[in-house]
Structure 1
């Protein structure tokens, strides 16, 4: 080769990574922590920022492949509900931040999961989506 011209030999072809549902949800949860950003979490774990934003949307909407509800339909189940006049004390564990957004009806439901996480959703949310979100956040 003439002076100044050099070539590069690429001998390794990177393959597409496969992420389990648990790994995706862990990254989504990490990106939702106060003080952290989606870009920072994505860069730290070597995942595309747009992919992490997509996983976040899928988790929020309950459409992530591998979540409860994907595949054979599960029979509906009932969960205990307690109606109280005053708000429950906040759990000591870190809950996912949920920015206050106006809803069409204005009513918001708060669900305290057995692991201590607090889930805030509009009363207009579909029961199947709520079930998938709760199952995803229980892991």
Structure 2
């Protein structure tokens, strides 16, 4: 006997979402903002928390597909340099000096990245630190 009601099956087929390297890096950058939680960023953008943790690890280790690791960056090229007046950045962080060199008052260097962000550092910054900073900010 039938009571006239019919059952309805609703199924949703979710396909895997493809994230570009730029999108991944934008989400990673968002997780690093002060007061922002990784869980909140993941929930807001519909990405699993574990995947976002994995992307952060890959970016940190330079193993993210599509992300050029610092040691594989293209060879140095000539870029325009403009001298500007202004006080140099503080050179008190250990990242800015070699351990055997005393901290000194140094001139500042301003780097305008391809994405128009400006990176101001001491001329005493270690090249590998500058390379990592520039790569992170250009992403």
Tell me if TM exceeds 0.5: yes
For the aligned pair, the TM-score class normalised by the smaller chain equals 0.5 to 0.7
How many positions carry a matched residue from both structures? Answer: 109
Higher relative contact order (CA 8 A, sep 6+): 1
Counterpart-to-counterpart distance in 2, 1:118 and 1:41: 28
The TM-score with structure 1 as length reference comes to 0.56
Distance (whole Å) between structure 2 residues aligned to residue 2 and residue 38 of structure 1: 51
Does residue 66 of structure 2 align to residue 66 of structure 1?
yes
Q: RMSD between aligned alpha carbons?
A: 4.3
Distance 1:28 1:74, change over 3 A: closer
Q: Which residue does the alignment assign to 1:50?
A: 50
1:108 aligns to what? 95
Deviations 1:43-88 (A, max 9, x none): 0000000111111112222221101259xx65421689xxxxx960
Q: CA deviation at 1:135?
A: 2.6
C-alpha distance 79-25 of structure 1, shift in aligned 2 (>3 A) = farther
Q: Where does structure 1 lack aligned partners over 5 or more consecutive residues?
A: 81-85, 90-105
Query: Structure 1's 17 and 32: CA in aligned 2 closer, same or farther, altered over 3 A?
Result: same
Gaps of 5+ in 2: 80-86, 98-108
More helix by share: 2
**Pairs within 5 Å for 1:109-124:** 109=96, 114=112, 115-116=117-118
Normalising by structure 2, report the TM-score. Answer: 0.56
1:96 corresponds to which residue? Answer: none
Per-residue CA deviation, residues 89-134 of structure 1 (Å, 9 max, x unaligned), is: 6xxxxxxxxxxxxxxxx94249975313579xxx6x9x5x974663
**Cα distance, 1:74–1:53 mapped onto 2, change above 3 Å:** closer
1:88/1:14 CA distance change after superposition, 3 Å: same
